[in-house]
Amino acid sequence: MSAGSSLLGARRVVVKVGSSSVSGENAGQIPTLVASLARLHAAGAEVILVSSGAIATGVPFLKLEERPEDLATQQAAAAVGQNILVNRYQRALTTHEIVAGQVLLTAQDIENPTHRGNARRAIERLLQLGILPIINENDTVATHEIRFGDNDHLAALVARLLCADRLVLLSDVDALYTAPPNIVGAKRVAHVPHGDPLEGIQIGESQSGWGTGGASTKVQAARLAADAGAGVLLTETGLLSAVLDGADHGTVFDAAPGAYLQ
C-alpha cells in the first residue's frame, strides 16, 4: 500500500508543518496544504494540524528585519503572528467549508495529568464537532525552560495523546537521506522498519533546511510516534498532494506492531 493510500484510509491523522513552509515567501503554500488536509477530511479522516510559524509570521508586522533573539520580543511576535497565521488557514479552509479551532499548548500542559486530560477532551470534542484543530506551542507564555524544543516533538506527543494512527511531518526537505541531501552521493531512505537503528545514516543536528528542528528531531519524533503505534511519513510540504495521488516521495516509518497508543 502506498503512503498516500494509507493516509487516505486513516482514521485519525496528525499533520505537522514547519515554519519555513508556511511563512515569509512560502506563506502562499497554505492554500495548497489546506487542500490536502481537506482531501483527507473528505476521505473520512479526523485531521489535526500542528503548525509552526507564529514567530516568523509576526516578525514583519513588528517591523523587524530578522528573528528576535530576546524572549520578550519573540513572545510579542508570536502573539501577533499566531493571529495572522490562523486567519490565513481559516481563509483557505473556508473554501472547503471547514472550520478551524485554535489550540495552544505548553510542555507543562502535556506533562501535567490534569492539563493533559483537559487538552485531550477539548480536542476530541472539536473533532466530534467536525472542527479541524490547529495546534501550536503557546510561544507567548512558554519560556526556554518549559518549551517542547520543537514542534516535531509536540506533533509526536499529540499523536500519542489523541491515539492517531498516522503522523505526517512536513518541512522543506523531501525525505530522510543517508547523508545531508546537499552531499554528493546522499540517497533517499524510502522506508524505515520499526526498530531499525539506521546504522550508517548520517543524521545531523544542522538546522539548515529543517526550520528550528533538524533531521535528528524528525527522526526522534517519528520514532516516538511509531513506538506508540502511529505510522509516520516524513516529506516536503509541497509534495503532500502528490503523495496522496500515489507518488513515491518521502520516508515512511513503520509503526510498532500491536502497539497500544496512549
Summarised one tens digit per residue, pLDDT across range 58-82 is: 999 999 888 888 889 989 999 999 9
Lowest-pLDDT choice from 40-44, 55-59, 207-211, 250-254: 207-211
pLDDT at 213: 55
For Cα atoms 148, 152, 155, give the angle at the middle one, nearest 5 degrees.
85
Which cell goes with 207?
538546522
The CATH label, of 3.40.50.1820, 3.40.50.1980, 3.40.1160.10, 3.40.50.2300, for the domain at 3-253 is 3.40.1160.10
Q: Is the pLDDT of residue 210 over 50?
A: no
Sorted by where each begins, the domain ranges of the chain are 3-253
Q: What is the CA radius of gyration of the chain?
A: 17
Q: Would you tell me how many other CB atoms lie within 10 Å of the CB of residue 32?
A: 13
Mean of the pLDDT values across residues 156-181? 93
Residues 6+ apart with CB under 8 A from 142: 106, 107
The residue type at 217: T
**Is residue 139 pLDDT above 90, yes or no?**
no
Q: Is the pLDDT of residue 200 over 80?
A: no
Annotated binding site for substrate: 52, 139, 151
Instruction: State the binding site.
Output: 16, 52, 139, 151, 171-172
Of 39-53, 101-115, 140-154, 225-239, which gets the smallest average pLDDT?
140-154
Annotated binding site for ATP: 16, 171-172
Is the pLDDT confidence value at 114 over 50? yes
Helix pair 113-128, 151-161: axis angle to 10 deg: 80
- The grid cell for 97 is 467549508
